[in-house]
Chains A and B, each alone.
Chain A
Amino acid sequence: MTIARFWRDNATRYNLVATRCGNCGKVTFPPRHVCPVCHRRSIGKMQRFHLSGEGEVYSFSVVHEAPSAFEMQKPYIVAMIRMSEGVMLTAQLIDCEPSEVTIGMKVRAKLRKIGEEGPGGVIHYGYKFAPA
Chain B
Amino acid sequence: MREVAIVGIGMTKFGELWDMSFREMGIQAGLMAMQDAKISAEEIDALYVGNMSAGRYIEQEHVAALMADYSGLARDHIPAIRIEAAGASGGLALRQAYLAIASGMHDAVVVGGAEKMTDVGDAISNKIQSSASDQQWESVFGATSPSLHAMIARRHMHEYGTTREQLAEVAVKNHRHGALNPFAQFQKEIDIKTVLRAGMVAEPLGMFDCAPNSDGAAALVLCSMERAKKYTDSPVRILASAQASDTLALHSRADICTFEATRYAAQRAYRQAGISPKDVQVAEVHDNFTISEILAIEDLGFFEKGQGGRATADGQTSIGGKVAVNTSGGLKARGDPIGATGIAQLVEIVQQLRGEAGKRQVSGASCALAHNVGGTGSTAVVHILGVK
Residues of A within 8 A of B (CB): 1, 5, 9, 30, 58-71, 73, 75-76, 78-80, 88-92, 98, 103, 114-115, 126, 128
Contact = CB atoms under 8 A, between A and B. Distances in A.
B55 interface: no
A19 to B, nearest CB: 13
A122 to B, nearest CB: 14
B245 to A, nearest CB: 13
A60 B199 CA distance: 18
Contacts of B138: 90
B40 interface: no
B256 interface: yes
B257 to A, nearest CB: 10
A68 B124 contact: yes
B368 interface: no
A68 B127 contact: yes
Contacts of B199: 64
Question: Which of A59, A64, A76, A128 gathers the greatest number of chain B CB atoms within 10 Å?
Answer: A59
B141 interface: yes
B140 A65 contact: no
B375 to A, nearest CB: 13
Interface string B199-210: 111111100000
Interface in B131-168: 136-144, 146-148, 150-152, 154-155, 158
B41 to A, nearest CB: 42
Contact of B202 (A65, A68, A73, A103): A65
A101 to B, nearest CB: 10
B151 A78 contact: yes
Interface centre among A63, A79, A128 (most CB of B within 10 A): A63
Interface stretch (B60-68, B70-78, B171-179, B247-255): B247-255
A103 B204 CA distance: 14
Nearest to A30: B137
Given A64-B202, A90-B249, A59 B140 contact: no
A66 B142 contact: yes
Nearest to B155: A59
Nearest to B121: A68
28 contacts: A5-B136, A58-B155, A59-B151, A60-B151, A60-B154, A61-B154, A61-B203, A61-B205, A62-B200, A62-B202, A62-B203, A63-B143, A63-B144, A63-B202, A64-B201, A64-B203, A65-B146, A66-B123, A67-B126, A67-B139, A75-B200, A76-B142, A78-B141, A80-B250, A89-B251, A90-B141, A90-B249, A114-B141
Interface of B: 122-124, 126-127, 130, 136-144, 146-148, 150-152, 154-155, 158, 199-205, 249-252, 256
Contact of A91 (B141, B144, B200, B250): B141
Nearest to A126: B141
B295 to A, nearest CB: 14
A61 B153 CA distance: 9
Given A30-B137, A90-B137, A90-B148, 10 more contacts: A61-B154, A65-B202, A67-B130, A75-B200, A80-B256, A89-B137, A89-B251, A90-B141, A91-B141, A114-B141
Nearest to B123: A68
B202 A61 contact: yes
Interface of B is mostly: helix
Contacts of B144: 63, 65-67
B162 to A, nearest CB: 13
A16 to B, nearest CB: 12
A9 B158 contact: no
A30 B201 CA distance: 28
Nearest to A12: B137
Contacts of B256: 58-59, 80
Nearest to B201: A65
A65 B141 contact: no
Contacts of B250: 80, 90
A69 B127 CA distance: 9
A36 B230 CA distance: 49
A63 B237 CA distance: 43
Nearest to A91: B141
Contacts of B130: 67
Nearest to A62: B203
A67 B122 CA distance: 8
A126 B126 CA distance: 22
Contact of B158 (A71, A75, A78, A103): A103
